[in-house]
Amino acid sequence: MSVLTRNEAQTRAQLLDVHRYTVDLDLTVGEETFDSRTVIRFTAHAAGDTFVELKPETLRSISLDGQPLDPALLDGNRYPLAGLGPGPHELTADAAMRYSRTGEGMHRFTDPADGETYVYTQLFMDDVQRVFAAFDQPDLKSVFDLTVTAPEAWTVLGNGIAARTAPGRWTIAPTPPISTYLVAVAAGPWHSVTTEHAGLPFGIHCRRSLAPHLDADADEILSVTRDCYDRYHEKFDEPYPFDSYDQAFVPEFNAGAMENPGLVTFRDEFVYRSAVTDTERQTRAVVIAHEMAHMWFGDLVTLTWWDDIWLNESFAEYMGYQTLTEATRFTGTWVDFAVDRKGWGYDADQRPSTHPVAPDPDAVPDTASALLNFDGISYAKGASALRQLVTWLGEKDFLAGINTHFARHRFANATLADFVDNLASATDRDVHAWAGTWLRTTGIDTLTARTQDTGNTWTLGVEHTGDRPHRIAVGTYDHMLDTQSGADQLVLRDRFELDIPQDDTPATLPGRRPALVVLNDNDLTYAKIRLDPVSWDTALTRLSGVPDALTRALLWNTARDMVRDGELHPAAYLTAARTHLPHETDLAVVHGVLDFAATHIADRYTAPGDRPAALACLTSLCRDLLRRTEGLTAKDWEQRSDGAGPGNPAPGLRLTAVRHFIDAATQPDAIQDWLNDGTVPGGPELDPELRWRILTRLAVLGATDEAAIARELAQDPSATGQEGAARCRAALPTPEAKAAAWQAMFTDDTLSNYLFTATARGFWQPEQSDLLHDYVTRYYPEATALAERRGAAIAEAAGRHAFPAYAIDPHSLRLGTDALDDHELLPALRRKLTDQLDDLRRALGVRNAH
């Protein structure tokens, strides 16, 4: 499939105005294909040649202005339109299109729980051509008028209000002008919960087998939706620009969610069928807020070309966290951002694949290269940059500039230059210079505190490595003995602001040097932080006594960065976690620290001979957390404080400890007893997620077999159960199990995107290195061939999940580096391999540093 280049898009945009698409889809013709008939009305400004994109199974007919054209002229995914005359035109295409099993185009899924079938579109970037003919680029906006024929028992959803006009026949209200990639259809026997808010219909939808779980959370989901909707209307002058707001939780979705106007699609793991923590519920709420922000930034005003994806994603990321904090019960969102998302940005920004938040247009020459930039830079770093901008500019001026941007470009397209000009119109500050240093550069600045005690005063200097300006807060903390508990706590002495580099000369401050000095104390900038030696000693010994969760998250991030940079021994991080997590009160911090300790420290940064000790440390820590949460009553679990309320955090903390204990277990006895009993002593009872988690670990340890997996699948024949079984089977430590899993991933080409990922996640296990050694060599050529056959979505999954991440050795690094010399490597796979190999190189460096 030919990718669209920026130059081609600019040429076509100068030639054409596109007015209306009339699309008729028939979803009743079979299980492999559907019918698509498209009429495009457009105007050519001058005589010229262009093309329309379409990737059909069969192009039955195509005509221009009533004159038939030869379907055989279709070249890959492009049909040439030669010799267009100036003036209005009408193009008609009639085709059979193929359903997808990889989450691209029109994805089709049959639920193993009840046999019901669902289809939905994901047309992002360049996949609209898998569903209907289009001039597929973001700056050729148009009105879309869709009709859909579906089985009579199905409900059809779309960007506008959908009405059933006859049995099995649906008409979707025409859209305002939107980009092709934002068109959405979802059809199937949906379970729906509907309401009305601010005069608009709101709905949430899922497949029928998840109905009880959606119903249990419907009040929370709709409450978050309403609260964010109202808060955005307080922030933005432009009202919500579409006629309805539906949120569909769809199966086997590749992303977290997609901002289709009026019909946001989410991965249906967000319909929780097992217990989750309040932090996980907060994550779902952030995604709801994020996608709603896109209704304005991305849908109402859309990027002109894909070099400006940060205009969509950074804005929605920032607004999602900020608005949720302001409008809902989830007031700790920036703690979660600091401990989870920010690390994603920091990691991405230190790899060879890093790029500016707003890259030079020449760096994004086509859609294939643009797809690679949906990463920690465009999301987490971009949101951090916007948070720093708001700190520097002030929220009032920031929102004034945003509202000017919406007013000037509503239902149109905009660029970085437009955005910066609109911000600059609301302030006297030099926003253009700020954008140059923050958005056009790569890498992370480092701010290091230098302190000296001079008796009755102390001095603070900031060593600044980097070129960006920063406005930060500095927090100073003193020891205080808690008379009731006898614990040594830290109390805030002062918090003051500094502008770096303007204020980085040493300052003399009254009193003795504090026990702890924290730069960027409220985490309002994007930079690595290094503490002075006295403060670092205090942090290692008193971190759990720091009063503010956001400060604790920042200190844990500092420790994380130091491990990755070879400045802190991985064992020291584990010791700090073992010391402080039993006293931590913020679930997001517990999540983040345990995840890093497990997936990076134990699995990658620790040498094989030291791994058992690392796992033992984690299981011991988890036992402490379980002891801390003993005595929970049935009422505690029923209130779902692990999820639905801001009260007692113990169930969520206990659930987190149970999960990590299972994953770190080196002996099967305890977790096998849990599985046999159907409960953890003292709770929780084992739900499907925990049962599959235990069975996966037992498979890794060689303590279960195919018969046990089959019995579990018979109890849980859901889609999630199918994935659990695939993961367990791939994790079995036998040559036969590994051969079968490898065949399924790299030869059969029948696995859906989710079953491929589940199999890959089970396959590579550090405990099975001898059994897996030969597969490391096979991975690179077979992943390359797989990506070429199955396309970008499977290529990304193969690079992310099927990569032999456990193999931290020079041989694996050399094999991967040689594979990158293949110039035909699919870009999606090349990017993932580049990142994975850099992480492998870093892991080797961490091991060698100690």
In percent, how much of the chain has pLDDT > 90?
94
Cβ distance 775 to 807 under 8 Å? Answer: no
Q: What are phi and psi of 593, to 5 degrees?
A: -70, -45
pLDDT for residue 844 is more than 60: yes
Q: What are the residue ranges of helices labelled H in 297-409? A: 309-327, 333-336, 342-349, 367-371, 382-393, 395-409
The predicted structure's pLDDT at residue 116? 98
The predicted structure's pLDDT at residue 631? 78
Class of domain 6-189: mainly beta
Query: At 824, is the secondary structure helix, strand, or coil?
Result: coil
| Predicted confidence (pLDDT) per residue in 68-97, tens digit | 999 999 999 999 999 999 999 999 999 999
Q: Give 223-242+267-444's CATH code, choosing from 3.30.460.10, 3.40.50.720, 1.10.390.10, 3.30.1340.10.
A: 1.10.390.10
245-250 and 200-206: which strand pairing? parallel
Query: At 271, is the secondary structure helix, strand, or coil?
Result: coil
In this prediction, residue 650 has a pLDDT band, given cuts at 50, 70 and 90, of confident
Q: Which residue has the higher pLDDT, 630 or 758?
A: 758
Window from 438-447, 484-493, 822-831, 835-844 with minimum mean pLDDT: 484-493
Catalytic residues: 291
Q: Which residue has the higher pLDDT, 643 or 767?
A: 767
Residue position matching structure tokens 């960065």:
561
Residue position matching structure tokens 């391999």:
833
Residue (of 590, 613, 704) closest to 666 by Cα position: 613
The predicted structure's pLDDT at residue 850? 83
pLDDT for residue 627 is more than 60: yes
Q: Do the domains spanning 223-242+267-444 and 446-525+527-535 agree at the CATH topology level?
A: no
pLDDT for residue 245 is more than 90: yes
Please state the rounded mean pLDDT for residues 651-659.
96
* 233 CB-near residues (< 8 Å, 6+ apart): 198, 239, 240
Please state the rounded mean pLDDT for residues 121-144.
97
Cβ distance 207 to 191 under 8 Å? Answer: yes
Output the CA torsion 346→350→353→358 (10° steps): 50
The predicted structure's pLDDT at residue 635? 62
Residue position matching structure tokens 């700190």:
391
The CA distance from 122 to 827, in Å, is 20
Q: What are the residue ranges of helices labelled H in 522-610? A: 533-542, 549-564, 570-580, 587-596
pLDDT for residue 688 is more than 50: yes
> What is the residue-wise DSSP string for 455-521?
SSEEEEEEEEESS--EEEEEEEEEEEE-TTT--EEEEEEEEEEEEETTT-S-EEEESSPPSEEEETT
The CA distance from 647 to 443, in Å, is 40
pLDDT for residue 503 is more than 90: no
How many CA within 13 A on the CB side of residue 518?
33
Q: What is the token pair recorded at 187? A: 């059809």
In this prediction, residue 485 has a pLDDT band, given cuts at 50, 70 and 90, of low
pLDDT for residue 647 is more than 80: no
pLDDT for residue 642 is more than 70: no
Cβ distance 483 to 510 under 8 Å? Answer: no
| Predicted confidence (pLDDT) per residue in 118-128, tens digit | 999 999 999 99
| Predicted confidence (pLDDT) per residue in 334-390, tens digit | 999 999 999 999 999 999 999 999 999 889 999 999 989 999 999 999 999 999 999
What is the separation, in whole angstroms, between the first and last Cα of the chain?
48
In this prediction, residue 643 has a pLDDT band, given cuts at 50, 70 and 90, of very low
The CA distance from 160 to 466, in Å, is 48
Q: What are phi and psi of 679, to 5 degrees?
A: -160, 155
* 111 CB-near residues (< 8 Å, 6+ apart): 117, 118, 207, 208, 209, 251, 718, 719
The predicted structure's pLDDT at residue 455? 86
**Chain-centre distance of CA 106, in angstroms?**
21
The predicted structure's pLDDT at residue 489? 86
How many CA within 13 A on the CB side of residue 323?
31
| Predicted confidence (pLDDT) per residue in 795-818, tens digit | 999 999 999 999 999 999 999 999
The CA distance from 808 to 404, in Å, is 51
Judge if the upstream peptide bond of residue 684 is cis by omega within 30 degrees of 0.
Answer: yes
pLDDT for residue 633 is more than 90: no
Q: What are phi and psi of 763, to 5 degrees?
A: -70, -55
- What fold characterizes domain 446-525+527-535? Immunoglobulin-like (2.60.40)
Judge if the upstream peptide bond of residue 501 is cis by omega within 30 degrees of 0.
Answer: yes
Q: What are phi and psi of 335, to 5 degrees?
A: -65, -45
Cβ distance 181 to 167 under 8 Å? Answer: no
pLDDT for residue 486 is more than 90: no
Residue (of 707, 552, 643, 659) closest to 270 by Cα position: 643
The CA distance from 317 to 98, in Å, is 34
In this prediction, residue 210 has a pLDDT band, given cuts at 50, 70 and 90, of very high
The CA distance from 630 to 70, in Å, is 73
To which H or E segment does residue 838 belong?
helix 827-849
Residue (of 77, 55, 59) closest to 3 by Cα position: 77
**b (16+ CB within 10 A) / e for 252-264:** bbbeebbbbbbbb
Q: What is the token pair recorded at 550? A: 């956001």
301-303 and 263-267: which strand pairing? unpaired
The predicted structure's pLDDT at residue 649? 72
* 739 CB-near residues (< 8 Å, 6+ apart): none
**Mean pLDDT score of the chain, rounded to an integer?**
95
In this prediction, residue 440 has a pLDDT band, given cuts at 50, 70 and 90, of very high
The CA distance from 529 to 552, in Å, is 13
pLDDT for residue 638 is more than 60: no
The predicted structure's pLDDT at residue 420? 96
Domain boundaries, the chain: 6-189, 223-242+267-444, 446-525+527-535, 764-850
The predicted structure's pLDDT at residue 488? 75
pLDDT for residue 644 is more than 60: no
pLDDT for residue 648 is more than 90: no
The predicted structure's pLDDT at residue 790? 96
Q: Other CB atoms closer than 10 Å to residue 32's CB: what's the count?
A: 10
In percent, how much of the chain has pLDDT > 70?
98
In this prediction, residue 632 has a pLDDT band, given cuts at 50, 70 and 90, of confident
pLDDT for residue 481 is more than 70: yes
The predicted structure's pLDDT at residue 505? 87
The predicted structure's pLDDT at residue 640? 47
Q: Return the biggest CA–CA distance within the chain.
A: 91
| Predicted confidence (pLDDT) per residue in 514-572, tens digit | 999 999 999 999 999 999 999 999 999 999 999 999 999 999 999 999 999 999 999 99
Q: What are phi and psi of 18, to 5 degrees?
A: -105, 130
